[in-house]
Each structure stands twice: as C-alpha cells, then as structure tokens.
C-alpha cells in the first residue's frame, strides 16, 4: 500500500490534462484505479474517481453528489462571457445540471421520445442518412472516416429528430463544436466571448424553431417540447425548452461521432472481427457495447459534493468538483475480466458506464446504440477489408478532458463483390 | 443470465418498462417486475437487460451472470 499522502495527492503523478496521457491513457488509468482511486488532479482542481463500483455508487447518490451544486465559474472564468449570454440571449442552462426531484419530473416529459421502441420508429430515416453517407466510402482511395462519415452522421440524425431542415445540420454542428469548448478548461477571455456570441446565435435559432413548431407541430422532438404539459396543465418554460434542445443537440454530436470513429478503429485493430461480424451480424450489438466500453466516447463527467465525503482515505471537501472517469471504470479489472480485450463473448459487455448509470443515465443511449449498430451493419454489407491508410502511431486526438476524440482516421476498404 | 427487480430498491419511476417493455412490466404499487413471459434471454435481451439496469435510477435491477 502506498502512502496515502503521496499517492493520492501527488499532482505530478498522473495529469489527465496532459495530451500525451490523453493519447494513450490506459496505463495511467490502471495506476489510478490501483493506487489512487480518489485522486486530486491539481491541474483541473477536481477529484478524479476511477473505479467502476465507486462511480456506480456516486451516480446513485445525487444528494451528496449533485449536478445542481456546480458553482459559477466552472465553464467561464470571465464575467463578460456570462454577461453576454444574459444581456443578449438567455443564461446558459441545461436540465442535465439539475437534481431530483425536479430532474425526475422534467425528464419524464422527454423520456417517451427516447424509449427503444420509439427510437426504432426512426430506423428507416436513419438507414437513409447512413446509406447516403456510406456512398462516400465507395472509393479505392483513402478517405478520412472521421470527416466524411462520423462528423456529419450524428448531427444529421439529430436535425431530423428535432424536426429541423436537414441542410441546417452543418450550422448545428458548428454551434455544438463551439458550445463544448469550455470543457477544455483552457480558454482565453477572447475565446470565452466567442463561445458566448455563437451560443446566443444558437439560442436565437432554436427559439425561432420552437415558435415555428408551436404554429405547426409535427411528430418531432421540438414539437414534443412545445406540446408537453405539466400535471397542472402548464407548459414547460422557455428556459427548459431551450436548455433541453441545446443539450440534445450537443449531447448527440461528439459522443456518437467518437463512438463511430473508435469502433471503426477497433474493428481494424482486431484481426478477424470484421469477418466475424459479417458472418454473424447478431454480434454487432456486442461489438458496439465492447467499443463503447473500451473507448468511452465520453471519458468522464462531473458532480459537485454537497458535504464532506470520505472515500478510500481521502476526504473530498464540500463544494468540490468530482470527475467520474468512465473511461477508467470501463477497464476496471474488479468488474471486467481481461478488461483490455475486445471480447464478443463477454457477458457483462452491456454493463459499462459509457452512458453513465442511474439518474443521469444518457437519455439518448437508445438512439446512439441504434445509430452505431445500423452504421456498422450497413458499412459491413457494402464494403470489405477495412484497413488503416496511414501508420497507426500517427493518430492525433483533440485535446480535452471530458471527451476522447480522434481528429482523423484515414482508412481504405474494398467493394463487396457484386451486391 | 438471470434478471430480477429488487422491490425494496425500486422507486417506481418505471424507466425500465418504458425503455424495454419486452422485458419489464408494471407490478404492484407501480413497481417494475420482470415480465412473466420472459423465460430464456436471447443475446439481444441480455444487452437490453444490462442497459435497463444501467438506466435504473435506484439500482434496483439485479443481474446474475
């Protein structure tokens, strides 16, 4: 057993903000799980939790580990950016940053849209979108799978589900890419203002779209928001509708994009998997769960303590930021046997925390799962012999703490005979 | 694999039966239970069951591997 003082508190030991560690974090995660399961990361002023069971316990304990207790200043360091939102748009808000019982009530209005059965009704639309993007792979030339396929797909899907014109997906993609910049925790004041200006532009676009849905409701997510009624007959507030729409757009984007890219990477890196999936398409589901587990598109999320909490000999003080490192928990050998192996026979494959668990379990998980499964089903039916078109040690990841994102993934593939 | 719902832990939010109605149904007092007609779990069911257990706000869905 290492001395608690040095192993838990030594900020030089594992710095998750270090881009070299972000590129290949697995050894660092093992180190954290084994030696410092609650670890104070000085560079980001937060306590990192890395074991599977600990994360499961925390996400079921919203009283002590709150979403709502997040302090002002977590996203924006300057007051100017915050004030710009307030003066020109609405304060930046998402219903994700709330706790039960309010969160439970709010979520009950949008949950029916995201059940596995309801999401299945969108399957034909999703197949069309995936098929038209898969056309871009119909070449013997190397293509950047990230740019050509992973970038446009999730935002196209969400644009359709929201009931917005498909051609607007590029606009939404731009806004959501800007929206998440504060999570890098490394913005200049100028960048903060840019985020606020683009954020307000996005809000104005969504508010106009909500107004249009109010006049002409359809079977889509924005219409559901304007038509939702509370028990007393009242509508959701503008703040809630706007916040939820922003959250749905942002939540659908990079996460699914990373899931697609990392799954392609994993399929190529593991010999025999591609053939196995083509022979046994039923195994695609386990494959996707394993990719989500191994590569955790959302590497971590946050909570804020409402009281002092002692864990593994460390006292996390009241008001501290706690970082739940899903990517580390998903390779915890205390829960998953041979955790670094992509195993299509793994019984526990679906128990990963890639979508978190419990209260804030990803609302869009059934949509993300369907998108990922259909994408691989369609790609495997159209192309074969997927391979890297560049040396694999050249992979670059977008710097960031919460998301692990490939900047590009150059691949080649061959047509599948006469189909 | 076997799945069950711990009635004491179940908080009657019914996420599981909305998410995966093929596996869960409403039992007494609004609490969830595994559907009576669910006998043998297919591989798809097993992943759905784990997804439901993950989503349960109170950790009431138990899985025996």
DSSP-derived secondary structure for A212-256: HHHHS--SSHHHHHHH-B-TTSPBPPHHHHHHHHHHHHHHHHHHH
Rounded to an integer, the average pLDDT of A113-142 is: 95
Q: What is the pLDDT of residue A246?
A: 95
Q: Chain B interface, mutation test: which of A105, A281, A350, most B Cβ atoms within 10 Å?
A: A350
Residues 6+ apart with CB under 8 A from A358: A56, A59, A60, B54, B55, B56, B57, B58, B59
User: Is the pLDDT score of A156 beyond 90?
Assistant: yes
For residues A82, A85, A90 and A94, what is the CA-based torsion angle, rounded to 10 degrees? -60
Least confident range from A166-180, A293-307, A372-386, A405-419: namely: A405-419
**Angstroms from A78 CA to nearest CA on chain B:** 36
The pLDDT, as a whole number, for residue A73 is 74
* Residue A395 pLDDT > 80: no
> pLDDT: is A12 or A86 the higher one?
A86
* pLDDT reading at A419 higher than 70: no
Which of A350, A359, A361 lies at the smallest CB-CB distance from B47?
Answer: A350
Surface of B (20-49) touching A: CB under 8 A: 20-21, 43-44, 46-49
Q: What digits encode the pLDDT tens for the residues A130-142?
A: 999 999 999 989 9
* Distance (Å, whole) CA A37 – CA A342: 24
Assess whether pLDDT exceeds 90 at residue A60: yes
Cβ proximity of A374 and A126 under 8 Å: yes
| A350 CB within 8 Å of a chain B CB | yes
Instruction: Report the alpha-carbon distance of residue A180 to residue A402 in Å, rounded.
Output: 10
pLDDT more than 70, % of chain A: 95
| Residue A48 CB neighbour total at 10 angstroms | 23
Q: What is the dihedral of CA A175, A179, A181, A183, to 10 degrees?
A: -160
Please compute the mean of the pLDDT values over residues A239-262 and round it to a whole number: 95
Q: What is the pLDDT of residue A82?
A: 93
Distance in angstroms (rounded) separating the CA atoms of residues A208 and A185: 31
User: Above 60 in pLDDT, residue A2?
Assistant: no
Residue with tokens 């949008």: A110
Minimal C-alpha gap between B58 and chain A (Å) = 6
- In chain A, pLDDT over 90 holds for what percent of residues? 81
Cis peptide before A101 (omega within 30 of 0): yes
pLDDT confidence of residue A403? 76
Is the separation of the CB atoms in B64 and B28 below 8 Å? no
The rounded distance, in Å, linking the Cα atoms of A406 and A387 is 16
pLDDT tens-digit series, residues B16-52? 999 999 999 999 999 999 998 888 999 999 999 999 9
* B51 close to A (CB below 8 A): yes
Q: How many residues belong to chain A? A: 419
Q: How confident is the model at residue A108 (pLDDT cuts 50, 70, 90)?
A: very high
Looking at residue A187, what is its pLDDT?
87
Confidence of residue A6 (pLDDT cuts 50, 70, 90): very low
pLDDT of A396 > 90? The answer is: no
The helix (H) or strand (E) run that includes residue A193 is helix A189-215
Q: If pLDDT is split at 50, 70 and 90, which confidence band does A16 have?
A: confident
Q: Is the ipTM of this complex over 0.90?
A: yes
Query: Which residues in B lie closer than 8 A to residue A330 (C-beta atoms)?
Result: none
What pLDDT does A8 receive? 42
Quick one: pLDDT at residue A394? 60
The residues, ordered by sequence, that sit 6+ positions from A158 with a Cβ below 8 Å of its Cβ are A169, A172, A248, A249, A252, A253
Q: State residue A161's pLDDT score.
A: 97
What pLDDT sits at residue A7? 42
- Check the CA dihedral B24-B30-B31-B33 and report its sign: negative
Residue A388 has pLDDT above 70, yes or no: yes
pLDDT at A149: 97
pLDDT of residue B39: 85
Per-residue pLDDT at A1 exceeds 50: no
Query: Would you say residue A5 has pLDDT above 50?
Result: no
Contact (CB<8Å) B54/A350: yes
Tell me: pLDDT of A417 over 90: no
- What is the rounded average pLDDT of the residues A50-75? 92
The stretch A305-334 carries a mean pLDDT of 97
Mean pLDDT of A166-170: 96
Burial class for A88, CB neighbours closer than 10 Å (0-12, 13-18, 19+): middle
Report the SS3 class of residue A391.
coil
- Could you tell me the sign of the dihedral formed by the alpha carbons of A194, A91, A238, A94, in that order? positive
A/B interface, count of CB pairs below 8 Å:
68
Residue with tokens 């104005």: A204
């Amino acid at each position: 057993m290492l001395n608690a003082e040095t192993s838990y508190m030594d900020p030089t030991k594992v710095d998750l903000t270090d881009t070299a560690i972000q590129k290949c974090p697995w050894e660092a995660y093992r180190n954290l799980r084994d030696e410092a399961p609650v670890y104070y990361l000085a560079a980001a002023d937060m306590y990192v939790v890395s074991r599977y069971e600990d994360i499961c316990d925390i996400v079921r304990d919203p009283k002590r580990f709150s979403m709502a207790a997040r302090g002002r200043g977590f996203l924006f360091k300057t007051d100017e950016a915050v004030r710009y939102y307030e003066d020109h748009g609405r304060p930046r808000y998402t219903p994700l940053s709330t706790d039960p019982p309010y969160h439970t009530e709010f979520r009950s209005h949008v949950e029916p849209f995201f059940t596995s059965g309801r999401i299945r009704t969108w399957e034909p639309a999703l197949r069309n979108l995936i098929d038209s993007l898969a056309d871009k792979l119909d070449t013997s030339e190397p293509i950047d799978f990230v740019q050509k396929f992973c970038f446009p797909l999730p935002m196209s899907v969400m644009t359709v589900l929201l009931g917005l014109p498909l051609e607007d997906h590029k606009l939404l993609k731009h806004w959501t890419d800007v929206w998440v910049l504060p999570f890098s925790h490394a913005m200049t004041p100028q960048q903060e203002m840019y985020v606020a200006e683009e954020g307000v532009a996005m809000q104005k676009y969504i508010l106009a779209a909500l107004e249009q849905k109010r006049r002409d409701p359809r079977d889509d997510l924005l219409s559901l928001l304007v038509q939702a009624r509370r028990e007393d007959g009242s509508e959701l507030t503008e703040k809630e509708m706007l916040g939820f729409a922003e959250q749905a757009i942002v939540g659908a984007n990079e996460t699914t994009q990373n899931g697609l890219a990392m799954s392609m990477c994993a399929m190529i890196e593991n010999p025999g998997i591609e053939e196995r999936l083509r022979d046994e398409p039923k195994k695609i589901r386990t494959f996707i769960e394993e990719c989500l587990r191994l590569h955790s598109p959302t590497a971590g999320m946050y909570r804020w303590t409402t009281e002092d909490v002692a864990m593994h000999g460390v006292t996390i003080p009241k008001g501290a930021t706690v970082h739940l490192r899903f990517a580390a928990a998903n390779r915890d050998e205390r829960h998953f046997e041979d955790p670094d192996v992509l195993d299509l026979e793994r019984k526990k494959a679906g128990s990963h925390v890639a979508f978190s668990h419990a209260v804030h379990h990803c609302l869009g998980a059934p949509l993300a799962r369907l998108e990922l499964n259909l994408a691989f089903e369609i790609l495997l039916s159209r192309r074969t012999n997927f391979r890297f078109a560049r040396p694999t040690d050249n992979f670059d990841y977008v710097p960031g703490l919460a998301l692990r994102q490939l900047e590009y993934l150059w691949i080649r593939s061959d047509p599948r005979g006469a189909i | 694999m076997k799945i069950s719902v711990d009635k004491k832990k179940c908080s009657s939010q019914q996420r599981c039966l909305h998410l995966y109605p093929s596996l869960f149904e409403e039992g007494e007092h609004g609490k969830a239970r595994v559907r009576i007609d669910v006998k043998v779990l297919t591989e798809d069911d097993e992943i759905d069951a784990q997804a439901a257990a993950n989503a349960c706000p109170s950790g009431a869905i138990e899985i025996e591997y």
